[in-house]
Structure 1
Amino acid sequence: MPQLNPAPWLSILLISWLVLLALVFPKILNYTFPNSPALQNTQKAKKEPWFWPWH
């Protein structure tokens, strides 16, 4: 059964992972956002009841 022969597919798998690890992932990890995230307001929002006009 030739599909069980791992010789060509194992090398393709390993080479593709090496390309991803060496080229793609460092570019993604070095990406910086143009706006730094701001801290959210820690005060609780005032909850007002809903106004239902048909109620």
Structure 2
Amino acid sequence: MPQLNPTPWLMMMLMAWLTINVMSTLINSNLMQNPTTPTKMNNHTKKSTAWTWPW
């Protein structure tokens, strides 16, 4: 039964798993190096006017 032989697909599975993990680690580390700084919010509140409905 050739489908039970792990030689052909085990190495491909390990290489794919390793590639995905390394790439996700690199992407996450690059994102965490340059975090966006929060901007200061404007404390002024805008005054709104009431909307009069025509009916």
TM-score (structure 1 length as normaliser): 0.45
TM-score (structure 2 length as normaliser): 0.45
Q: Which has the larger radius of gyration?
A: 2
- Higher share of residues assigned helix: 2
